[in-house]
């Protein structure tokens, strides 16, 4: 029992360390209210760091990510809206900074191709399934089987 409890404790401690480590890039920021803080957290978790491209600017320790966090912080404090802040960054770094790309003509394939493929698959599925059932046992084989069974 003690060892089991011990293991759980170790696992919890490890998990806690990990989450602290992944939040390592975040500086202490003094916001006027909780709403600003939650907007800040929300924004830095949906913006991509261009240096380490598979991390958000919240996760990344790169200098650019820290600059970008500063910009987000300043603009949140200055009362800019989320759209204004994201716009400010995409003006400089492009839509790539957004983990959630906008739905525009250029990104239509990205957003809609999966649904189109799924629809095509559902349309083709019954036809393919039918054909396979028909091919499954040819008449001559069925006769053969009946003959063998009746013997």
CA dist list (Å): 65 to 30, 70, 113, 119: 19, 9, 31, 40
Position among 1, 139, 148, 149 found at the interface with another protein (CB under 8 A)? 139
Binding mask 69-98 for another protein (x = CB under 8 A): --x------------------xxxxxxx--
**Cβ 127 to another protein, closest distance in Å?**
10
Helix, coil or strand: residue 137: coil
Options 140, 147, 148, 150; binder of another protein; rule CB under 8 A: 140
99 lies in the site for another protein, by CB under 8 A = no
How many other CB atoms are found less than 10 A from the CB of residue 86? 21
Q: Which residues contact 50 (CB under 8 A, 6 or more apart)?
A: 64, 93, 96, 97
Nearest approach in angstroms of CB 116 to another protein is 15
Task: Tell me how far apart the alpha carbons of residues 98 and 111 are, in angstroms, rounded to a whole number.
Answer: 14
Please report, as ranges, the residues that interact with another protein according to CB under 8 A.
50-51, 53, 63-64, 67, 71, 90-96, 131, 134-135, 138-140
């Amino acid at each position: 029992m003690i060892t089991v409890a011990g293991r759980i404790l170790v696992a919890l401690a490890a998990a806690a360390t990990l989450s602290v480590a992944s939040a390592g890039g975040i500086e202490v920021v003094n916001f006027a209210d909780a709403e600003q803080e939650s907007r800040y957290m929300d924004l830095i978790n949906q913006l991509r760091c261009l240096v380490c491209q598979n991390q958000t600017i919240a996760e990344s320790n790169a200098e650019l990510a820290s600059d970008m966090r500063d910009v987000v912080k300043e603009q949140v404090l200055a009362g800019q809206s989320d759209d204004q802040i994201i716009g400010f960054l995409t003006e400089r770094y492009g839509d790539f900074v957004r983990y959630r790309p906008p739905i525009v003509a250029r990104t239509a394939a990205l957003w809609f191709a999966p649904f189109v493929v799924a629809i095509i698959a559902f349309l083709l599925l019954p036809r393919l399934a039918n054909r396979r059932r028909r091919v499954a046992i040819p008449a001559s084989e069925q006769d053969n089987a009946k003959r063998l069974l009746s013997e």
